Structure formats: C-alpha cells, structure tokens
Amino acid sequence: MISPVPILSSIASMLRGPNPRLKASYSLSRILSQLDLREMPYDEGVSKNRRRDGTRHISIGVWLIPIDADQSPSDADTSRAEPAVTCDLRRQGIGVLVARKMTATRFLVAVADFDESWRFFLTEVRHQSTRPGGWLQLGMDVIQIVDPESIQISNFRNRRTEVSQS
C-alpha cells in the first residue's frame, strides 16, 4: 500500500501552480462568511456549526449575469444582470434563489465586498429546483474569479441603477 508523503505533496502542489477553481471558491466563501459574521451579535461567539463542512444558510443579495456556454466571461453582457439572493454556501459552490426560470447554464455572479467593490465569479449551474413561494433555487459550482473590462463594469453599474429605480 502506498501512502502519500507530505513533503512530496507540497512540492507537487507548488509545481502545479494555483488552482483557479479552488481560489475562486475560497474567495467567494471568504466574502460571504465575512458578511455573515458581520451580522452576528458580538456576544454570540463562534458556534460549532460554523466549523463544520456542511451547508451554511447565508442570505446576501447578488447579481446574476447570464453567459452562453461557448462565450468567454470577457464577452458577457453585464447589462443583462438580474438580482438574486444567496441561500446556502457549500464547499465548492453556492445556492441562489431567483424569481424566474433561468435558461443559461453559466453565470457571472457579482458579489459586493465590504468596501462596496464588486467581485465577479464565473459559475456553472448544476441544478435548478423549485422552492416554496414560486422561487427557484440554482445550485452553482464556482469556476474562477473574473475581472471584467471597464465597459462591462459601467454597463453593470447602469443596470443596477436602472433596476433600483424601477
């Protein structure tokens, strides 16, 4: 039986380079966890369930930008962004509640960080399930972090303003 040698595993991971999927997953988890912890009363402390590896229910407003299956994130039309709400966080992905059926299989998910700067993540839809009250839940895997072009940021900002004024 062959057992892994820790030092060789460390060297191999350095030679392979960064894993964009893991980096994106950790980054999104960090943002959502920080926002979730900010709402927790100071005297509550860290509960045991925060240390578990299972699903955590976190509700934060996000924006979904649909992307065609063969489209590059740099070609995404951010003026088509739709508001949504996260409902859970898992090891490699998130659950998002939407009001209408989505036909795209990939999305850019825009999440506001503490400093109100927007972070964008490329995701793939794994399932779309009905929920009570006419809502749909999208289960999404996080693929990578995306840095949109300035025109995409501008279109996204205009879309947010348009939706908030309607």
Q: Which contiguous run of DSSP H or E holds residue 140? A: strand 135-146
Distances (CA, A) of 65 to 14, 22, 82, 90, 106: 33, 21, 6, 21, 9
The amino acid present at 22, given as its one-letter code, is L
Tell me what pLDDT residue 146 has.
93
Q: Which among 95, 104, 75 has a CA at the least distance from the CA of 142?
A: 95
Q: How far apart, in whole angstroms, are the C-alpha atoms of residue 84 and residue 140?
A: 13
Tell me what pLDDT residue 43 has.
47
Q: What is the mean pLDDT of the chain?
A: 81
Tell me what pLDDT residue 57 has.
65
Q: Does position 137 have pLDDT exceeding 90, yes or no?
A: yes
Average pLDDT in the 60-77 region? Answer: 92
pTM of model > 0.85: no
Q: Which residue has the higher pLDDT, 162 or 90?
A: 162
Q: Does position 123 have pLDDT exceeding 60, yes or no?
A: yes
Q: Which residue has the higher pLDDT, 29 or 165?
A: 165
- Confidence band for 37, pLDDT divided at 50, 70 and 90: low
Q: Does position 79 have pLDDT exceeding 60, yes or no?
A: yes
Average pLDDT in the 108-118 region? Answer: 86
Domains and CATH numbers, the chain: 55-165 (2.40.10)
Average pLDDT in the 107-125 region? Answer: 89
Q: Which residue has the higher pLDDT, 116 or 16?
A: 116
Q: Does position 151 have pLDDT exceeding 80, yes or no?
A: yes
Strand partners, 83: 63
The amino acid present at 126, given as its one-letter code, is R
Average pLDDT in the 136-158 region? Answer: 93
Q: How far apart, in whole angstroms, are the C-alpha atoms of residue 95 and residue 25?
A: 13
Sorted by sequence, the CB contacts under 8 Å of residue 141 that are 6+ apart come out as 21, 92, 93, 123, 124, 126
